[in-house]
């Protein structure tokens, strides 16, 4: 009889019996066998335990953690168990989102280019020149689903926060990107065209056609309210050094800015607003989605050349985020790439 109860086939049968996934014949077989029935009881106990386990509510968990931390004596240093948990949890979904963006953007652009190519560029330039609203802001307005996110405050340790949804843009500390009046920053998000008067728009378009390179960087970031993350223009012999230094400083001061993966919408909006960067999507090295997840995208001018600043994270290696700078030309050449902290600008 031991053979009967120890046999895995019978164990499998018992397991299926508990789940109500047996035939009448199998049910009868088990119910007529006391040893199997005793096994059923044991297994039932386990099944009930695993069934009753409810995932812990992250909000409640955060509350309890904060309460526990508040009870700690002052000057006690809390060392997080896992440094990069927030990022890594979101990384997989971000990869999927990025992959989706890669698939959708060329398709959408090819469709639009056939019918209304000029409108895209006009819209993009309008956004660039007037610094209306960042693509992230547009995205946040378009999103209809409520975001139950917990975004770390800038003065908090990002490692101590609960997991955040991946594409959870926040509107806190929202600042205008440029110094223009708020009215001029209004954008009709449904049409993607500035809602200011047509006359003004025509003037802006004319200006941007004459001077297509704008000094206002277009940013796609998880924390889209931080539009002034990195200045948009870097000139001179130390332009690259300055750009890297600025980014590096920001990473060290506020690393949480670079820990939330970009959503597909953010990436999509970025490339829609920066049509001249589309060549990067065809660059095989750019945002290799099998390994990297994009944390931050920004348009910068590096010695008068429009460039793309990408901060990404390698999913496989637990390293610091990587900063990549692509020069926007026909092939979207990679001009610099290194870890944020280990970069050597002068090289």
Task: Please give the Cα distance from 3 to 237 (Å, whole number).
Answer: 81
Per rule CB under 8 A, is residue 304 in the interface with another protein?
no
**Residues 189, 159: contact at Cβ < 8 Å?**
no
Three-class secondary structure assignment of 272-291? HHCHHHCHHHHCCCCCCCCC
- State which residue, 8 or 330, has the beta carbon closest to another protein: 8
Based on CB atoms, which residue is closest to another protein, 41 or 156?
41
Residue 49 or 346: the one with the smaller Cβ distance to another protein is 49
Give yes or no for residue 21 binding another protein (CB under 8 A).
Answer: yes
57 makes contact with another protein (CB under 8 A): no
Would you say 223 and 214 are in contact if contact means Cβ atoms under 8 Å apart? Answer: no
What Å distances lie between residue 140 and 122, 167, 270, 312, CA to CA? 22, 9, 13, 22
- Binding residues with another protein: total (CB under 8 A): 18
Q: Which is nearer to another protein, 6 or 304 (CB)?
A: 6
Piece in contact with another protein (CB under 8 A), picked from 30-38, 40-48, 86-94, 262-270: 40-48
Of 53 and 79, the one with the shorter C-beta distance to another protein is 53
Euclidean distance between CA atoms 13 and 25, whole angstroms: 11
Residue from the set 1, 53, 79, 81 that interacts with another protein by CB under 8 A = 53
**23 near another protein (CB under 8 A):** no
Classify 261 in phi/psi space as left (phi over 0), alpha (psi -120 to 50) or beta. Answer: beta
Shortest CB 49 distance to another protein, Å: 5
Q: How far is the CB of 10 from another protein (least distance, A)?
A: 10
CA dist 84 and 87 (Å) reads 6
CB of 38: closest distance to another protein in angstroms?
13
Q: Is 47 in the site for another protein (CB under 8 A)?
A: yes
Measured distance CA(289)–CA(314) in Å, rounded: 9
* Candidate list 23, 37, 43, 246; residue touching another protein; CB under 8 A: 43
280, 297 in Cβ contact below 8 A?
Answer: no
Q: Point out which residues bind another protein (CB under 8 A).
A: 6, 8, 11-12, 14-16, 19, 21, 42-43, 46-47, 49-51, 53-54
């Amino acid at each position: 009889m031991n053979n009967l109860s120890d046999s895995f086939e019978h164990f499998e049968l018992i397991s299926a019996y508990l789940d109500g996934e047996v035939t009448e014949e199998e049910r009868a077989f088990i119910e007529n066998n006391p040893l199997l029935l005793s096994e059923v009881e044991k297994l039932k106990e386990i099944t009930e335990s695993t069934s009753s386990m409810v995932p812990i509510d992250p909000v409640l968990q955060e509350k309890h953690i904060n309460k526990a931390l508040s009870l700690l004596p002052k000057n006690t240093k809390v060392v997080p168990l896992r440094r990069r948990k927030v990022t890594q949890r979101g990384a997989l979904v971000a990869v999927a989102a990025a992959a989706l963006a890669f698939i959708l953007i060329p398709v959408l652009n090819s469709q639009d280019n056939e019918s209304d190519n000029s409108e895209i560029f006009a819209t993009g330039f309008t956004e660039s020149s007037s610094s209306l609203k960042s693509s992230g802001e547009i995205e946040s307005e378009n999103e209809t689903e409520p975001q139950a996110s917990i975004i770390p405050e800038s003065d908090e340790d990002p490692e101590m926060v609960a997991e955040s949804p991946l594409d959870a843009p926040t509107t806190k500390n929202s600042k205008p990107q440029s110094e223009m009046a708020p009215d001029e920053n209004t954008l009709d998000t449904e049409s993607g065209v500035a809602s200011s008067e047509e006359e003004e728009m025509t003037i802006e378009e004319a200006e941007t056609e004459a001077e297509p390179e704008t000094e206002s960087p277009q940013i796609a970031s998880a924390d889209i309210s931080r539009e002034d993350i990195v200045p948009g223009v870097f000139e001179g012999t130390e332009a690259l050094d300055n750009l890297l230094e600025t980014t590096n400083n920001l990473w060290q001061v506020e690393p949480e800015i670079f820990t939330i993966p970009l959503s597909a919408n953010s990436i999509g909006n970025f490339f829609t607003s920066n049509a001249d960067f589309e060549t990067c999507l065809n660059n095989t090295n750019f945002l290799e989605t099998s390994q990297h997840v994009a944390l931050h995208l920004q348009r910068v001018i590096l010695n008068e050349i429009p460039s793309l600043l990408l901060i990404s994270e390698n999913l496989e290696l637990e390293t610091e985020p990587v900063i990549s700078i692509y020069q926007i030309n026909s092939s979207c050449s990679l001009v610099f790439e290194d870890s944020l902290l280990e970069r050597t600008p002068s090289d």
